[in-house]
A and B are shown apart, each in its own frame.
Chain A
Amino acid sequence: MVERVSAPVWRTLGATRGGSGHEKTTVAIVGGGPVGLTAALDLARRGHRIVLLTRLDYIAAGSKAICFSKRSLEIFDQLGVAAPLRAKGVTWNIGKVFRGQDSEPIYQFDLLPIKDQKQPAFINIQQYYVELELIEALKKHPNVELRFGHTVSGLEQNDDGVELAVSTADGPYLLTATFVLACDGARSNMREYLDLSFEGSVFEDQFLIADIRVRQERPAERWFWFDPPFNPGQSALLHKQPDDVWRLDFQLGSHLDRAQAVHPDHVESLVRGMLGRHVEFEPVWYSIYNFRCCRMRSFVRGRVIFAGDAAHLVSPFGARGCNGGIADAYNLGWKLDRILTGRADAALLDSYDHESTRSADENIRQATRATHFMSAKGTAERALRDAVLSLAREHEFARPFVNSGRLSCAVDYPDSPLNCADLEAWAAGPAPGSPAIDAPFGTGYLSEKLGSDFVLLSNGFTIEPIVGLAQLQADAADSSLLARYDLTPGSCYLIRPDQYVAGRFKHPSALKLKAALRRAGGES
């Protein structure tokens, strides 16, 4: 997203004192949003020395990202912060699509078609709660330094490291790091310092976000309207957040005066149109935006690695921005760990570039299609879109055409250089390059057993212990896991430290497994 109207303070953190002369660290992370903080926490639990630099000395108000996906929750669970976020957040799985003045949805969808997984499809929670939780978790790691109010003003890199020039209220200093993660958002300075391009397309339609506080009884579902009476010819979206806050999102079209659009009278008429004439509410955060879909050509530049909005931007419909960024951070953590501990060659970063650009492309493709569908231009495009909507009420076949945003889920990497291609036919289960799907396992869930190392998930096959490889045995009692993975007796899956499948074998051998492990682990 671009051109936000406001970024007031939610919680003051205070500028971190100090930083002087010429310091050294293993990893410097630039940016204190959910992406930078997630990357920091993943590397922190792996024991690396981290300095996180963020320009702000406060957590920004404004709900910003609110929808956190199952994949993000699974990542947060691995990092030990999912439980408090879920306790605070609003859990939801159902989306409803309305058209015109009909009070009945034309269509509804369940984003968690496969039940019995530890995490729901989504929780809604204000971004600042997520940031606070991650900051609190990071403070427990003595190997992490969080520096608020520290701005990177320039950088230089050579074969051994990156030198950052940092400015603070107390004066400037230099910080040299073996690797630098640039997680400094859509208007990334790091991108500018390295003079890297950021290409894509700008969408002309403007949208209004109105976060309001209102007490009302409504189900925790995502409601989307095409052409509602309160916003004729445009679309609208409603999401429930914690603390009686609701996110209302209105498409405004492309010809609009911005000042007029955020004027309280204009916003109020839209809010009352959606929620009822007499509704009592209090404004929390109003913002006008239009958006771009773009990405950097490559996310790795020497020892500077880009993640999140700094590397790619998408339209917000589908919650693919923040969730996509968290996926980047988590894709990178274990790879960087292996490189820093000498277990993998630096070329393992190529697979980060491959997988994260693939993920960005998929997110941009999906978000662009959704945007085209909801802001259909021209008579033919509009007629086809409207035909889909009119058919959808009556005919089941037309419902999958309705695109109000395809919601974020983990992206597959079918062509990843880390994959070991299937040698046998599988009736089910995640293919190499796909994320492991959760299932009941023993008395808990599989996702709880997949740790920070490689995992061999098998039904009866074992090999001698290997450092960095945990072995999990499933048996007949884990029937839904066996079915979800087509884990017939003797077969096995090799799962990466980020819970993606590296390879799978109906007829495994120690030789095949070790080769797959070397490949996926980027061993030099």
Chain B
Amino acid sequence: MTQFISTVNLIDHDEIFERLVALHRGLDEAQSREVDARLILLLINHIGDPRIIAAAFEAARPRDQATAQSS
């Protein structure tokens, strides 16, 4: 069974981060939200495994909510 990876799993972080930020350049709030939402859905489908997706959802929660929601 594949585990959710929260340790380093790629190279060239600066390049990727720069490109992620660049996706939003020149966009207004609504457009940025749309890009984010599309990106999330594309990645979710690529991952596919519902357990990995659930673990990512959990890790993404605001920290003060994380424990309350997972109990």
Q: Shortest distance in angstroms between B53's beta carbon and chain A's nearest beta carbon?
A: 13
Q: Which residues of A contact B30 (CB under 8 A)?
A: 379, 383
Instruction: Of the listed stretches A65-73, A166-174, A301-309, A390-398, name the one at the interface; the rest are far from the partner chain.
Output: A390-398
Bound-state CA distance A388–B36 (Å) is: 12
CB B19 to nearest CB in A, in angstroms, measures 19
Residues of B within 8 A of A388 (CB): 41
Number of interface residues, chain A, beta carbon within 8 A: 13
Q: Which A361-382 residues have a C-beta within 8 angstroms of B?
A: 379-380
- Residues of A bordering B, CB below 8 Å: 379-380, 383-384, 386-388, 390-391, 395, 397-398, 401
B45 within 8 A of A: yes
Task: Please list the residues of chain B having a beta carbon within 8 angstroms of any beta carbon in chain A.
Answer: 30, 33-34, 36-38, 40-42, 45
Measured between beta carbons, the chain B residues less than 8 angstroms from A395 are: 42
Partner of B42, one of A383, A384, A391: A391
* B45 A384 Cβ-Cβ under 8 A: no
CA distance A390 to B38 in the complex (A): 8
CB pair A398–B41 under 8 Å, yes or no, is yes
Separation of A388 and B38 alpha carbons in the complex (Å)? 7
Chain B residues with Cβ below 8 Å from A401 are 41
Known A390-B38, A391-B38; judge A383-B45 contact (CB<8 A).
Answer: no
Q: What are 14 inter-chain pairs, A to B, with CB distance below 8 A? A: A379-B33, A380-B33, A383-B30, A383-B34, A383-B36, A384-B41, A386-B37, A387-B37, A387-B40, A391-B38, A395-B42, A397-B45, A398-B45, A401-B41
Distance in Å: Cβ of B46 to nearest Cβ of chain A = 9
The 8 closest A-B pairs by CB, nearest first: A387-B37, A383-B33, A397-B45, A387-B38, A383-B37, A384-B37, A387-B41, A383-B34
Residues of A within 8 A of B41 (CB): 384, 387-388, 391, 398, 401
A383 contacts which chain B residues (CB < 8 A)?
30, 33-34, 36-37
Q: How far is the CB of A87 from chain B (nearest CB, A)?
A: 44
CA distance A505 to B37 in the complex (A): 47
